[in-house]
Amino acid sequence: MANAKYRIKKRKDALKELNGLVERDSNLLIIHYSCESFYNIKDGRTPRITSIAVRYFNTGQTISFSIHKVAEKQGKLDSIEDHYNELEKSMLDEFFQFVSTHINYKWIHWNMRDINYGFEAINHRYSVLGGTPSMIHDNNKYDLARKMVDIYGNYIKEHPRFEKLIDKNNITKRDFLGGAAEAEAFENKEFVKLHQSTLRKVDILQSVVERIIENNLKTDTTLREIYGFTPQGLYELVKENWGYNLFIFLLGAILSGIVGYIITLLLT
């Protein structure tokens, strides 16, 4: 375990960064997406993107892109599986059109970090289908799952963490599907379910962010694990949780009490 000082610094940095994002929330987006299962693809191609949801942090308005929505527009709802490639391509066309007009926004995401699952995967998929992806600069991406480790350490002991975190915080799970269930929904062509699950997740991500900012997110890490049992840790603990002013006030009250007591002793 790295030393306490370093951990406190990481926590502070991550919180500061997140606060900064939320302060400029007119420029802030939350993104999540669903795709086919990562394994179990027979012909070696990368998993299809099935739906993407993007939520404006300040207004809560959510834009979404999904295969079945595109199919509906093009009148192909009953023959989706015959047109996967072109439908997926049209959906990504719409998505990247959106990206190019929001290239300077900040994007909060959950573990979308590599070619397996993440921005890289979406870009790759679009290239495969013949598109040219607009790249979001890495500086504009904020991986909430990773930053939460900086802030809380091992914030949930049980797995899957995302789902357990939701349970622990009593955030509503209507329409929510676990990862395996989402992949299964795609197999069964339950695109609407899939889409709603993605929408719900983006919703949940916003709640989580807000709770972190308000310092009332419930996690499995104890105060001691977060701050460590060191003078600086205790100082941060008091400062963040009960307010520095209250601490100083109480300290003053105790000291004046002691002084008063000594004076009465001397006078009697």
Partner DNA sequence: TCTCAAGGAATCTATTCCAG
Partner DNA sequence: CTGGAATAGATTCCTTGAGA
Q: Which of 117, 169, 171, 247 binds DNA (CB under 7 A)?
A: 117
Instruction: Please tell me whether residue 171 binds DNA under the rule CB under 7 A.
Output: no
Smallest gap, in angstroms, from Cβ of residue 48 to DNA? 10
Our measurement of the distance from residue 34's CA atom to the centroid of its chain's CA atoms, rounded to an integer in Å, reads 15
Instruction: Please tell me whether residue 111 binds DNA under the rule CB under 7 A.
Output: yes
Instruction: Please tell me whether residue 227 binds DNA under the rule CB under 7 A.
Output: no
Beta strands 106-109 and 62-66, pairing class: unpaired
The backbone region for 191, taken as left when phi is positive above 0, alpha when psi lies in -120 to 50, beta otherwise, is alpha
Q: How far apart are CA 45 and CA 230, in angstroms?
A: 52
**Other Cβ atoms closer than 10 A to 116:** 14
Q: Tokens representing 244?
A: 């520095």
Q: Which of 32, 48, 102, 147 binds DNA (CB under 7 A)?
A: 32
Instruction: Please tell me whether residue 230 binds DNA under the rule CB under 7 A.
Output: no
Q: How far apart are CA 224 and CA 20, in angstroms?
A: 26
Choose between 40 and 215: whose C-beta lies nearer to DNA. Answer: 40
Q: Which of 34, 64, 90, 206 binds DNA (CB under 7 A)?
A: 34
Quick one: which segment of 19-27, 38-46, 94-102, 208-216 binds DNA (CB under 7 A)?
38-46
Choose between 40 and 59: whose C-beta lies nearer to DNA. Answer: 40
Our measurement of the distance from residue 163's CA atom to the centroid of its chain's CA atoms, rounded to an integer in Å, reads 12
Choose between 6 and 242: whose C-beta lies nearer to DNA. Answer: 6
Quick one: which segment of 72-80, 100-108, 174-182, 229-237 binds DNA (CB under 7 A)?
174-182
Report the SS3 class of residue 53: strand
Instruction: Please tell me whether residue 183 binds DNA under the rule CB under 7 A.
Output: yes
Here's the x/- map for DNA, 132-151, by CB under 7 A: it reads as: -------------x---x--
Q: Which residues contact residue 102 at a Cβ distance below 8 angstroms, ignoring those fewer than 6 apart?
A: 29
Q: Are 62 and 53 in contact (CB under 8 A)?
A: yes
212 burial (CB, 10 Å; 0-12 / 13-18 / 19+) is: buried
Instruction: Please tell me whether residue 200 binds DNA under the rule CB under 7 A.
Output: no
Q: Which of 5, 13, 23, 38 binds DNA (CB under 7 A)?
A: 38
Helices (H), 138-215: 144-152, 161-168, 179-187, 191-213
Residues that bind DNA (CB under 7 A): 1-2, 32-40, 50, 110-111, 114, 116-117, 145, 149, 153-154, 156, 159-162, 178-180, 182-183, 194, 201
